Structure formats: C-alpha cells, structure tokens
C-alpha cells in the first residue's frame, strides 16, 4: 500500500508541512528533525507524487549533466565514470534524478542545446569537458538556468569547481627536475580546454623557476586520448628527452607503448610523470608516477554547489579549487616494485 504524506508525518512525529519542507530541501528545518523524517522515508519506501510536487514547487528534482563528448569517449576514458559516480551518489543522497546528455561535435549541436535547455526538465545543470569556445555556457547564462562548470571558467558569472591543474603539473615537473632530469618534454592536453592550458602553464612555470629553457621541440600536443599520446610520443623521440610530463594518464599509456617499441627503457632512458591517477596508472608496466586528482569528489562538490544555488538567491559566485597530490611509482625510477609514495599538493 502506498504511504501518504500524512502517514510519514505521523511516523516521524512531525507535522505534514514539516515533511513537505524536508522533501523539498527547505533550509528552515532542524537537522535532527530532517534526519528523522528521511529515516522514515527510507524505511517506509515512501515515494512523493512527482507531478504534484513539481506543480507545487516549480521544481522537477532533475539535474542535467551535459558533456560535449561522444559515447565512445565517455566509456573509454575512466575520468568520466569516476566523475559521474560522484555526481550520482550525491544526487541520490538528496533524492535528485540525474539526466545525462552527451552532445558530440555535430552540425546541429546548437539546436540540441536549445532543445535541452528549453525543455523545462531541468532544475539546474552540471557541465563538464567543455572547450573555451563551446556555446553551451553562454546558452546556459542566457536561458538563466542555474549551473556549475566542472572546470575553471573565465566568465565571472560562472560557478565552477576544479582541481589545481597548474600547481599539480608544476609539482610533477619539479619532481623530475629533482631527479636530475634536464631535457624534460611534455605531451600537453588540448589547448582549447582550460585543463590543457593550465597543465601546460604548470610545466612552463616549473622549468622557468629552475632556469631551464622552454624548448618548443620538447612540446607536443594531444587530445587526452591514448592514440594522441602515441602520436605525440613519436614526435618527441627525435628530440631525445630524458623525461616527459604527460597531461593525462590515457596519453601516458599511449606514450609508454611508443617508447617501448622504440627500444627506450622507462625510467632508465626516459622518466614519465602523468596526471589523473586513474586505475590504469597502477597496473601498467612500469606503474605510472602521476598527479592524483579527486575526480569523484569533484563531481560530488559540483552537486553540492548547485544545490546551494538552487536553495535560494545568492550574490556569491562559487569558485572552488580542490588540491592534487603526486603519487610516486616506478615510471620515474625511485621506488621499489609494489611501493608508492604520495606527496601532498598545494
């Protein structure tokens, strides 16, 4: 039998209006009361009438997650699965539904955005993996849909959460310098994405701080895919680097394959440090030294910021940078097999 709102109130020992405020995330409810009501809801399996609730509150309880990537990219890059796990768990905790929309680079991309944003389905949105010229963020601002960007954004009106890409990259390169490496190359990420720009900036900062020249022949570019890492590594081999900082783990996997095929030993001939600390980093041979970013926490924090925005008018623009840390493994050459060391970031 379907439980009513009144019965939930009776079981929780509160009024019907209090249960309604708890369900609708109203801030003026004591924490212990809120916890008691949610306990009854979970134990009883109570399901609010979604249509009635939407009409009464002008809310759908749906958060859109919009990622301008292909399905193939989503399922081959573990960054996205970890990000979505963090988003999903936090949405579930607050009884929000997540609506995932992938919008690959198609001729009608702008039309897809317009149909999605004007559908009336979304209370708010989380966007990730956007390029600097993607029309999605200007469209969200124009439609006045509350949203949070996973990734730093230059527009001062945009709420965003990100990791310290620049600081993490700098720590990685400085670690290589500390090991005595001097011809340090990089496989940078795409320069139409802020993460790619910031990680390249960190590489340059580290070299400059230690009076090492920035040699354009030691800089190659990829698009965060394994294939692009292979192409970039082929380009760099002729410049004879003794170390490479690679802007993500997937490109590092590709680079490892190329170095091995070229007869170069890692780390004896070329030391590698990457960025992300995806699960694959610990199981490739040799295991990758890499900058760990808290991807699940990034997704969860994006939801928390969005819910804060949805809770009421605010003039504060959220700009949150999460710290990174360097995980040292065999690819830079100083740890024994099976061991790793974690160095805290800034």
Q: Using one digit for the tens of pLDDT, what is the confidence trace for 248-298? A: 999 999 999 999 999 999 999 999 999 999 999 999 999 999 999 999 999
pTM (whole model) above 0.85? no
Whether the bond into 112 is cis, omega within 30 of 0: no
Sign of CA dihedral 86, 278, 272, 72: negative
* Shared-domain flag, residues 191 and 338: yes
Query: What is the predicted pLDDT for the residue at 232?
Result: 98
Tokens describing residue 205: 């900062």
Please give the residue that has the higher pLDDT: either 346 or 180.
180
* Shared-domain flag, residues 46 and 75: no
Q: Using one digit for the tens of pLDDT, what is the confidence trace for 98-148? A: 999 999 888 888 899 999 998 888 999 999 999 999 999 999 999 999 999
Q: Using one digit for the tens of pLDDT, what is the confidence trace for 211-259? A: 999 999 999 999 999 999 999 999 999 999 999 999 999 999 999 999 9
* Shared-domain flag, residues 336 and 216: yes
* Shared-domain flag, residues 156 and 15: no
Q: How confident is the model at residue 334 (pLDDT cuts 50, 70, 90)?
A: low
CATH at 155: 3.40.50.2300
pLDDT of residue 55 exceeding 60, the answer is: no
* Shared-domain flag, residues 264 and 287: yes
Structural domains of the chain, count: 3
Q: Are the beta carbons of 5 and 19 closer than 8 angstroms? A: yes
* Shared-domain flag, residues 209 and 338: yes
* Shared-domain flag, residues 83 and 222: no
pLDDT of residue 337 exceeding 50, the answer is: no
* Shared-domain flag, residues 214 and 137: no
Q: Using one digit for the tens of pLDDT, what is the confidence trace for 163-189? A: 999 999 999 999 999 999 999 999 999
CATH at 27: 1.10.260.40
Q: Using one digit for the tens of pLDDT, what is the confidence trace for 18-46? A: 987 887 777 778 888 989 988 888 887 77
* Shared-domain flag, residues 258 and 274: yes
Query: What is the predicted pLDDT for the residue at 5?
Result: 76
For 47, the domain range is: 5-57
* Shared-domain flag, residues 20 and 156: no
Q: Taking Cα atoms as reference points, which of 262, 259, 307, 302 lies closest to residue 284? A: 259
* Shared-domain flag, residues 179 and 309: no
Tokens describing residue 112: 């897809």
CA distance 225 to 178: 28
* Shared-domain flag, residues 150 and 231: no
Q: How confident is the model at residue 346 (pLDDT cuts 50, 70, 90)?
A: very low
């Amino acid at each position: 039998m379907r439980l009513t709102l009144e019965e939930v109130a009776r079981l929780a020992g509160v009024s019907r209006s209090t249960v309604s405020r708890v369900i609708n995330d109203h801030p003026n409810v004591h924490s212990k009361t809120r916890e008691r009501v949610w306990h009854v809801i979970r134990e009883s399996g109570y399901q609010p009438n979604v249509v009635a609730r939407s009409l009464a509150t002008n809310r759908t309880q749906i958060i859109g997650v919009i990622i301008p990537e292909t399905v193939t990219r989503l399922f081959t890059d573990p960054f996205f699965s970890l990000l979505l796990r963090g988003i999903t768990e936090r949405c579930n905790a607050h009884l929000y539904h997540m609506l995932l929309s992938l919008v690959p680079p198609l001729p009608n991309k702008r039309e897809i955005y317009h149909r999605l944003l004007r559908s009336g389905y979304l209370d708010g949105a989380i966007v990730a993996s956007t390029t600097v010229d993607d029309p999605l963020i200007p469209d969200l601002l124009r439609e006045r849909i509350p949203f949070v960007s996973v990734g730093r954004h230059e527009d001062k009106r945009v709420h965003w959460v990100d990791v310290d890409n620049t600081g993490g990259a700098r720590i990685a390169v400085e670690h290589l310098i500390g090991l005595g490496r001097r011809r340090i190359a990089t496989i940078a990420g795409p320069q139409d994405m802020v993460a790619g720009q910031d990680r390249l900036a960190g590489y340059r900062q580290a070299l400059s701080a230690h009076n090492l020249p920035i040699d354009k022949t030691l800089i190659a570019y990829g698009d965060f895919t394994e294939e692009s890492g292979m192409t970039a590594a082929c380009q760099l081999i002729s410049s004879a680097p003794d170390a490479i900082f690679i802007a993500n783990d997937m490109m590092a996997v590709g680079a490892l394959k190329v170095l091995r095929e070229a007869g170069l030993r890692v780390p004896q001939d070329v030391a590698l440090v990457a960025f992300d600390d995806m699960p694959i980093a610990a199981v490739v041979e040799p295991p990758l030294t890499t900058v760990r970013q808290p991807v699940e926490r990034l997704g969860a924090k994006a939801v928390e910021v969005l819910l804060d925005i949805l809770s009421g008018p605010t003039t504060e623009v959220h700009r949150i940078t999460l710290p990174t840390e360097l995980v040292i493994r065999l690819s830079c050459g100083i740890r024994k097999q099976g061991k790793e060391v974690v160095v805290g970031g800034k």
